[in-house]
Structure 1
Amino acid sequence: MNELLKIDTSNAERITVSARDLHKALEVSTDFNHWFTRMCEYGFEAQKDFTTFLSESTGGRPSQDAQITVDMAKEIAMLQRTEKGKEVRKYFIQIEKEWNSPERVMARALTIANKTIATLELENKEMKPKALFADAVAQSDTSILVYDLAKLICQNGIKIGGNRLWTWLRENGFIFKHSCEPTQKSMEMKLFEVIERTVQRSGHDPKVTRTTRVTGKGQVYFINKFLESQKGEQIC
């Protein structure tokens, strides 16, 4: 995939992009400061959706910029209502899909675990790698979709598809029946999080979308539960 914008992956918890780079890629005619201030008025929160900072400009004078989450960047691209906005939004969707793939999630958790192992070795302490790996995933702020959880379970030797996993979660009281919402028990156990976004629509009232995602703790919990019970062996 061609790099439309430079993505910052230095933070293991989330990926971000420069607001100025996004402004340039969207070919916005309004100057950056006024444009970004207006975009922030669509319900985005400082420190959660974006972090502002000063960067050096070509003239040597500091200029305002911000690192914004890919979720925020997608919504901003959609708000432009231009062909360029559609192109940029599709680019971010693909970036996010790759970032949240089971392989990338596990790779990040393994990197965290390896760093922790190195630290512990310096302190002459011991910890089983598998337990450390599970702990790294559980403490991760990276949540994934239920369909991606199904892929992780498959990679651990239990074959199950996304649709059957949803059914199992409902039948076992983790998700409400006839719904995609986690039950109170699941939320208290911190197995899921619900991401809520308000999407502005031209000529229509804003639309609120809710997406259920599996937390790092939930990923470890469900993988272990399936390994213990061997449920879903016949499901591909």
Structure 2
Amino acid sequence: MVNKLVIIKNDQPVTSSLQVAESFDKEPSKVNRSIEKILTESGTPKMASEFFRPGTYLSRGKQYPMYYMTRDGFTLLAMGFTGKKAMQFKIKYIDAFNKMEQQIQNGGFNVPTSMSEALRLAADQQDRIEQMKPKVLFANAVETSDSSILVGELAKLISQNGVDIGAGRLFKWMRSNGYLISGNRSDRNLPTQKSMDLKIFEIKERTYNNPDGSVRVTRTPKVTGKGQTYFVNKFLKEIQQ
């Protein structure tokens, strides 16, 4: 879920069509179509295209189209939006400016002389805070854990850090990317040699005595502390690009 009003991309404060869709309770595809209509119908298409840049986002293991937009691009898009949600979203920009100005004054720095400069400074600082937050929380979680975890538990950990993925999709992703063995075979879903060499997985074996006197051995893949760091950071990098 998108939780940042403004981010820094290519040294410029921008928001996204995904954020707009969430804030205004609209379908992302409908917001995209509104932007494409602006690009098509604008009397100055070159100028309009400078306000919007295409991008993609990851959801449920798939890539979907989106747009990044500058403050001017958002103004064009939101011009026709009305109601309580619209007002709240616009007020957040003003609030970001006021808070940043106060913080800079208290810190003894030069106060920005324009809205654009203030938004850039505020967005830059917020972006650094938000990028650090999940990594700090995750590092603390790993430090307090003295054992490896199941793949399903890793999926929950990744989701807590901002990536929507379940156990089934994570298993599939790991098989597709060579971390777990794929195919219709007895060792399916066990770590590949690549994973064992990276020390991001270990295999836990359990022995059960069957009623008929035979012995049954189960082998379960578990993600080590190093593996937890490896996979969470890997998914975080994907959503930050």
TM-score, with normalisation over the residues of structure 1?
Answer: 0.40
Structure 1 or 2: more helix by fraction: 2
TM-score if structure 2 supplies the norm length? 0.39
